[in-house]
Amino acid sequence: MTGPIREPLNFAGNCDRSPSIRDVARAAGVSYQTVSRVINEHPNVSDTTRAAVLATIAQLGFRPNRAARALAGGPAQAVTVLGSNTTLYGFAAALEGIEEATREVGFGMGFRAVEARSPADIPDVVERAIEPAGTLIVIAFDKPGALALECVPLEVPTVAMIQAPTEGAEPTRPSVWIDEFAAAKEATEYLLALGHPTVHHLPIPSWPRTTRRMEGWRAALAEAGVRMHEPLQGGWTSTWGYEAGAVLARDPNVTAVLCGNDDIALGAIAAMRDAGKRVPADVSIVGFDDIPYAQFFAPPLTTVRQDFKALGRAAFAKLLEISNSPRTLPPAAAPQARLIMRHSVAPAPQVAPSASEASGSEARSPPPGR
């Protein structure tokens, strides 16, 4: 992601934020610390400077918030985590890692949800998230979290948990991530090495264009010079995995599938079974994330392990660094993804290509109900 997202997000004005403390400082020709002292009625500000800052605040319509007060109030003692769907494994595990780390150093932690259904309300949600603590960790794995991150004023100490940036792109906020591109590429190459003529992909949702998982899959196929089938529109759940898997099950040439997460893989395995196909004898399936019960799938799922809990700890450690907190944690590097071999993958079956595959044509309809 650029920005911290890979490409600039265009949300048509959904993040029309109020003036920030840095906007006031620039307009008044003073430092943002001086603006904070004025807001907090600190005595060590001259009458002339105080009057100029107050006039600028009135002119810009600036509303002081907890972040501005916190700048003059000493080091932070708490953090608010801002994210969307904590029912998803990655979000929940990251939140658990942050909570454990805050407890170790005596920090308070709160959580505020940002909802995908009301993007126009996100700036207000962000402001309310800042109020209790003055510092933020934003779980920006999805579109709502990414938009929330864009709405956080620059003066608020913030660390983002993001999808890995594209090569050469630098996040604009302190960020941590796992290299999903390399992991997806490795998983795809593993399937190709087993003799599968190509690998299909059932992705998680992407915005504005694609995910790093999908890009890794594409890169592996391109380097191998094999045919790439455009993936269906992505979802998060086993239900979507079943619907999309049922579409792939109708194609006799599908022998390998890389899924965007393990829930999708669970649905795809069920769809293949209901279509009379065996996993992995007929179709090999690889998941992503290594959720705690992936080893208990039937068959146990080969998947990419991502330690979101460790990622959450790394995010909080970085927040302590940037907020100049006297409390510290041991330096924590973001964890690396790795392929976990189980029993949902096998060498490619010997299947003669159909006429449509040989001719390069492809007939495919969207999953039911989508």
Q: How far is CA 257 from the centre of its chain?
A: 22
- DSSP letters spanning 27-83: HHTS-HHHHHHHHTT-SSS-HHHHHHHHHHHHHHT----HHHHHHHS-S--EEEEEE
pLDDT in tens, 25-46: 888 888 867 887 787 777 778 8
* CATH code for residues 180-301+342-352: 3.40.50.2300
Give the pLDDT confidence score for residue 368 in this predicted structure.
39
Give the pLDDT confidence score for residue 119 in this predicted structure.
64
Coil, helix or strand at residue 136: strand
pLDDT in tens, 189-231: 999 999 999 999 999 987 666 788 999 999 999 999 998 998 8
Q: Which of 99, 206, 84 is nearest to 148 (CA)?
A: 84
Rounded Cα gap, residues 70 and 59, in angstroms: 23
SS3 assignment for 289-321? ECCCCHHHCCCCCEEEECCHHHHHHHHHHHHHH
What stretch(es) of the chain map to CATH 3.40.50.2300? 74-177+306-335, 180-301+342-352
* CATH code for residues 74-177+306-335: 3.40.50.2300
Those residues whose C-beta lies under 8 Å from the C-beta of residue 334, and which sit 6 or more positions away, are: 176, 177, 178, 310, 311, 314
DSSP assignment, residue 179?
-
CA distances from 176 to 152, 314, 358 (A): 17, 7, 44
Residue whose entry in the numeric block shows the structure tokens 């690396």? 336
Looking at the chain, the whole-number percentage of residues with pLDDT higher than 90 is 42
